[in-house]
Chains A and B, each alone.
Chain A
Amino acid sequence: MKKMKTQKLYDLSQLIEIVGDEEGLLKMVTIFIESTPRTLDELNENFRNKNFEMVAQNAHKMKASIDMMRVVSLHDMIRKIDKLDKVIENQAELKDIISIVNTKLTQVFAELKKEFAL
């Protein structure tokens, strides 16, 4: 069981601590699965339109949820997009990061759906 947890892309222990019960956890996960893909879509769209300011804002919005779900692998990356004007100079790098974020998050969504039978 413990091994399973470390393999997972996310860690719900903090969330459980906050919401306390099954019902609350389910609700939070549902919200996450509903709202984060929307923001991710917006981010991708904005990136295609080279609207970088909006890209940063979308990343900014996702940051808190990603942290709360303890998606550790995205911790630094999402921050890089969030501060893109300061950190990322070339668009190629931004593109790479965004594609990793997409892949990882899609995995997270799928795993969550499976775990909670959503």
Chain B
Amino acid sequence: MNPFKVFVVEDDPFYGEMLKYHISLNPDYVVEKFETGKDFLHNLYKNPSVISLDYSLPDMSGLEVLKKVKEFNPEIPVIIVSGQEDVSTAVILLKEGAYDYFVKDDDTKDRIWNALKNIREKVELEKEIDVLKEEIGKKYKFGNIIKGNSPEIKNIFSLIDKAIGTNITVSIAGETGTGKDLVAKAIHYNSPRAKYPYVAINVSAIPKDLIESELFGSEKGAYTGAFTRKLGKFEEAGKGTLFLDEIGEMEMNMQAKLLRVLQERELTRIGGHQLVKVEARILVATNRNLAEEVQKGNFRQDLYYRLLGLPIYLPPLRDRGNDILLLAKHFVDEFCDENGIPKKTISQHAQEKLLGYSYPGNARELKAMMELATVMSNGTVIEETNISYSSPNRSNDFMLDAEDTLVGYNRKIIRYYLDKYDKNIINVAKKLDIGKSTIYRMMKNNEL
């Protein structure tokens, strides 16, 4: 723990020494004493935890010194000790950020003692919180939690980096289970807003008629059952981050209200009049194609542009090549760790089987598959037979998809057959009347 450094600035050597003695009664405090403003300011670089400052120094006024301290580091609490009671000076000093103002009398040392105690407790508490936040932050250091080596995921990392440095709204898109939640958290916990709250709300999970009060809050008596004032998610997030998940599910009239709030940067709670400032950073996510929803008239174009900001598109897992295996191993390791099971590896055949699947549920589905496989496997190796696709009867979705190239269709068809025939390459090659080496080659090149 860093020592709690108390600087005593006092031109009266006797009084200064007295304070030093008194404060040093607490063995955790380290006291340094200065008799002039100049001498003190020379030592300010040592960054004291708290300063006790005599208002009338021979070379400078207390106000001057206070201002210099606040310029150096506004966080350092400064207790002003004055020989004389002077209310107007006290008011000015407190306005300039003084922690407190004491008049020198018999109680001064006790008051300073108490002030130090309070300041110290606060500092300790804040430190604890910082440590906790750092831990949470570390948890979300994106390399640690968002796994992947593919060019696709590296591109995502560089976009997250860009998002962290600014306040721009980020719109995260991608199929279900591709990691949109993870990306949102990674942005928040690595941004300067990490010390403020991260508040997530899933639009699709909240009944339509409650969403407005969830977001904006409501005053007491705003509707039947509103017994107290309720803060909305915007206010809860404060200067932090508000993550609006499944934004595509929001109803049109609510979209209009949201747009207004985002434009004005102000809101009123339901049933209230008072304007509340909106300071939170906004992240949104959707697994729909929002541009398409705009075309279809289901999503307001103006809101769409407002929210687009920095778009991050998370490609489906099946397009991330070898990341499938990397993630599979990661999920197995994680599961073993969490359950105190010895580490397991994934056999070659099992790996090939994993690469042959299309993962409509993306990473979430892979995770569930690998957890089950880990449970099913007996030894230390996960075999092909331990892996079962969660959705064996894939619809021939490749027919319904948007237009694709012939090569693209080829891939989709082969994937479909591989799924259907449980990754039996010989079988698939026969059915499609192509060489099995073609399938092997495509697999090796991560084309499937």
- Residue numbers of A with Cβ under 8 A of B are 14-15, 18-20, 24, 27-28, 31-32, 34-36, 57, 60-65, 67-68, 82
Beyond known contacts A18-B21, A35-B12: 8 more, CB 8 A cutoff: A31-B14, A60-B84, A61-B11, A61-B56, A64-B12, A68-B15, A82-B83, A82-B84
Q: Is the CB of A63 within 8 A of B18?
A: no
- Chain A residues with Cβ below 8 Å from B84 are 60, 82
Q: A57: which B residues are within 8 A, CB to CB?
A: 56
Q: How far is the CA of A20 from the CA of B109 in the complex (A)?
A: 15
Q: How far is the CA of A18 from the CA of B106 in the complex (A)?
A: 12
Interface residues in chain B, defined as those with a beta carbon under 8 Å from any beta carbon in chain A: 11-15, 17-18, 21-22, 25, 56, 83-84, 104-106, 109
Contact B56 A18 (CB under 8 A): no
Cα(A9)–Cα(B21), bound, Å? 24
Summarize A's interface: helix, strand, loop or mixed.
helix
User: Nearest 4 pairs between A and B by C-beta?
Assistant: A65-B14, A64-B15, A35-B13, A19-B21
**Contacting residue for B17 out of A31, A61, A82, CB 8 A:** A31
Query: Closest Cβ of chain A: how far from B37's Cβ, in Å?
Result: 15
Contact check: which of A18, A36, A82 meets B22 at CB < 8 Å?
A: A18
Docked Cα-Cα span, A65 to B17, in Å, equals 10
Q: Output the residue of B17, B25, B84 with the most chain A CB within 10 A.
A: B17
B13 proximity list for chain A (CB < 8 A): 31, 34-35
Cα distance A64–B222 when bound, in Å?
Answer: 59
A71 to chain B, nearest CB (A): 12
Contact B21 A28 (CB under 8 A): yes
- The residue that A63 contacts in the complex, of B11, B22, B104, with Cβ under 8 A, is B104
Contact check, A35 vs B83: say whether CB atoms are below 8 A apart. Answer: no
Indicate which residue in B12, B18, B105, B109 contacts A28 across the interface (CB closer than 8 Å). B18
Whether A36 lies near B21 (C-beta < 8 A) is no
Docked complex Cα distance between A68 and B21 (Å) = 13
Complex: A61 Cα to B13 Cα, angstroms: 10
Contact among B14, B25, B83, B105 for A20, CB-based, below 8 A: B25
The contact sample of 23 A-B pairs, CB cut-off 8 A, is A15-B18, A18-B21, A19-B21, A28-B14, A28-B18, A31-B13, A35-B12, A35-B13, A36-B14, A60-B83, A60-B84, A61-B12, A61-B56, A61-B83, A62-B12, A64-B12, A64-B15, A64-B104, A65-B12, A65-B15, A68-B15, A68-B18, A82-B83
